[in-house]
Amino acid sequence: MNDATGLDQRRPPALTDPFGRDVTYLRVSVTDRCDFRCVYCMAEDMTFLPKKDVLSLEELDRLCSAFVAKGVRKLRLTGGEPLVRKNIMSLFRSLSRHLDSGALDEVTVTTNGSQLARFADELYGAGVRRINVSIDTLDTDKFKTITRWGDLDKVMAGLEAARRAGLQVKINAVALKGVNEHEIPAMIEWAHGEGHDLTLIETMPLGDIEGDRTDQYLPLSQVRASLMDRFTLTDIPYKTGGPARYMKVEETGGRLGLITPMTHNFCESCNRVRITCTGMLYMCLGQDDSADLRAALRASEGDELLNRAIDEAIGRKPKGHDFIIDRDRKAPAVSRHMSVTGG
């Protein structure tokens, strides 16, 4: 039965952090492995985790379910590249029971698109309705340069498979100075012409990537100012549960999102926590403080220790991140790679 505000009384109360923010969105990395080596995300010669350190699919299910029982309403599976994890569809199918019961509003996935042609139909069958696909350029050669190992034609075939399956696609593009900044207007027109939203993301100081991020960093405030010479941008209240601020591009009729951890952080409304594939809970993407949930998972078949560890960790979620990129501070703000934490 619904109360006057429309909230279901049967729903568990959300996890609430020290600053009164309800944690309703969980992002879970199911693997640190990827079939790309994007220049802003990974070193080319990556050393991946041993199998024993990575949570099993059953442990991932149990962990996600514990958060759902505590009021998380949105679950996003990420990586690395989540669709390269062996038998990953069994996890999607298992988690769909929380969609069927109404305990979850949605399960989504962030992918590089390389495996979409294979898995799009199965994702839809497991209850997934929206996906994020990371594409930073429409230039085949430049795509190969950015991803090192990627094949743009294969990703485009995956997008077509997603469309046929009925999946709503949002394109994510990291804005990279001197690399794709001049392509952004064309990417907007392409994405909107295909019926996709497009979100631009500022590069973040995560992990050692064999390069100087000051050479990559492109403030989206600068990008927006440039786009306004070509497009009419109207701010809109559209939200997907994540940090993007959206606007309508009047000329295309499509939506453009901006994720700006550097120029305009979104910490005041943060409703998210992240879990790595090893079971480390990070309360903030830009802080090193974490909680070891794998130990609690493996210490007991029951969830009492796990629930206690979750509650204790949320109780110290920080107010905001410490990201900075400048010529004087070239070291990453945190040492772990984005592929470890999850996109």
List, as residue ranges, the binding site for GTP: 27, 76, 110, 170, 272-274
Provide the pairing of β-strand 168-175 with 130-134. Answer: parallel
- If 0-12 CB within 10 Å is exposed, 13-18 middle and 19+ buried, where does residue 5 land? exposed
CA dihedral 238, 242, 245, 248 (to 10 degrees): -40
Residue numbers in the known binding site for [4Fe-4S] cluster are 34, 38, 41, 267, 270, 284
Nearest to 338 by CA among 86, 13, 78: 78
Residue numbers in the known binding site for S-adenosyl-L-methionine are 40, 80, 134, 204
Place of tokens 């399960």: 107
Question: From CA 268, how far away is CA 338, in angstroms rounded?
Answer: 22
- Helix 220-227 / helix 184-193 crossing angle, nearest 10 deg: 70
Nearest to 28 by CA among 102, 109, 103, 101: 109
Biggest CA–CA distance in the chain, Å, is 59
Instruction: Confirm if 208 and 336 have CB atoms less than 8 A apart.
Output: no
Residue numbers in the known binding site are 27, 34, 38, 40-41, 76, 80, 110, 134, 170, 204, 267, 270, 272-274, 284
